[in-house]
Structure 1
Amino acid sequence: MMKRSLFLLIVCVLGLQAHARATSEIKHWFTPHGNGNFSAAAQDVCKVSSSAPGGEIWSPNHRRKIVTRPSADGETTIFTVDENGHEFAIETAAWSCPEIGWSPTSAFFFVTYSDDGAVGTYHVSVYRISAAKIGKIDLTGAVRRDFQRHYPKCDSPEEPNIAGVAWSSDSTTLLVAAQVLPHSNCDNMGTFNLYTVAVSNGRIIDRIPQLAAKASFYDLLGQELRAADDHCFSKIGSCWIPALHQTRTNK
C-alpha cells in the first residue's frame, strides 16, 4: 500500500512539474465569461439563444458574429459567420447546441458539437477567417490519437469526447480536452486530459493529466470537466467496471 501511494504521489508531482514547464511560455489565457458545458470561456448556442433571441455570438473585436437560425423546414439549425453583412456558412453537425469560443484576435473560433444529440460523441472544429474567407483547420487529430493510446479498458471500442476549452491570449495556442465517454461502458468514465496545441500546425505542446489540469485551469473548465471524478486516480481501480477485470477460470 505504501509503495502504491508513493507511486501515485510521484506521478502527480511529475505531472505538475511537466505542466509548469510547458505552460511557462504561455502565461496568459483568454478568459471571457462563458457558459459552456466543457468550457467556461465558450458560449453555449442554446443558452445564448434563450437569453437573446437570434443566437448572435460576437467576436471580441465586435466586427464579426456567429448567427444561428432555424432551417426552412425548422428541423435543423443553420450556422453562419456574418462579417459586415457578408455571410459564410459553417460546416457543423446537425445538433443545435454547440459551444463556440472566439480567439482574442477574432481570427479563429472553435465549435464543440455532438454527433448525436446530448448523449452523442463530442468533436471540435476550428475555423480561421482571413481575407474575407473562412477555412476549417484540424487541430485535434494528434490529440485524439494520443488519448486513444492511453484509453482505459472498455466493454466495446470507444472514441473520446474532444472539446475546445480556451485560447491563449495571443491566439497561437488552443487548450483542448479529451474525455473518456461518461457512461458505464468504460473504466474511469468521464475522466480527462487537457492538451495545449499549437495553432500553426496542430502539434501537441503538452499533455496535462486531470489532477494537474484542475489545479491549474479549473476556472476555464465547464461543469462537465469540473465534475470528473478525481478518486479514479487517487485510488486506482475505484472507477473500474468489475466485469472488465474478472479473472477467467477454466471449468
Structure 2
Amino acid sequence: MTIIHIDKVSKFYKMGGEIITALDQVSLDIEQGEFVAIMGPSGSGKSTFMNIVGCLDMADQGLYALDGTAIHRLKDAQLAEIRNKKIGFVFQNFNLLPRLTAYENVELPLIYRNIPRKEREPMVRQALASVDMLDRQEHWPAMLSGGQQQRVAIARSLAGDPAILLADEPTGALDSKTGKEILDIFKRLHEHGRTVVLITHDEWVGAQAKRIIRFKDGRLL
C-alpha cells in the first residue's frame, strides 16, 4: 500500500527579484512499512521535500497524498490534525521542552489530541519502553545525555501511533557510537512494520535504510 504519493510536485521561492526552484517536477511513491533515506547536499531540495511531506509547507504545483488524503485540499486546522495524528517528527536537536519530564514530553501530543488521561498513560509508557527509557521517565531533559534525549524524542513521535516517522538528521548532534544506537532503534521500528523516512546528508547513515532517494538541484537523481 502506498502511504506517500508525490506526483509532479514543484516548489518555488522568491529571493529578491529571482525565482528559485526548490523542487522541480518530483514524482515518487513510498510504500507502507518502507525504510527510506532522503539524501542530497545542502540546497538539493531534500529539506523542502521533508517540509512538504511533513505538511509544514505546501507544494506550488503537483499532487501530494498522505495515506490516501490529498493534502492540498486541506485547511490549516486539518493540516495541524494530520501532523499530530499521521506524522511522528524526530529532529536533529531533539526539541524537548526543558520544563517537562521525559514522560510529560512524550505525553504532550496526546494531550493535544484530547486523549483522556487514563488512556494516555499506557500509550506513553509503551512508547518510552520501546526506546528503553521507561526508567528515566521522571528525568528532565537537562538530566539526560544527547542519546537519551533523542530516545525520548523518538518515543514522543511514536506515542500517537503515526502512519510515518519523519526523522530530520536524527544523528547529526550525536557522536558516532550513540548515533549507531539511535539508527538501531529506527531499524528495529522498521522491522516491526513502521514506515520510516530519514533525511540525511551522511552516506553511512543513509546506507542503513532499505532504499535511498537522492536529490540534486531540486530533482530526483
TM range (shorter): 0.3 to 0.5
| TM superposition score normalised by structure 1 | 0.30
Q: Given the two structures, how large is their TM-score scaled by the length of structure 2?
A: 0.33
| Structure with the bigger percentage of helix | 2
Query: Radius of gyration: which is bigger?
Result: 1
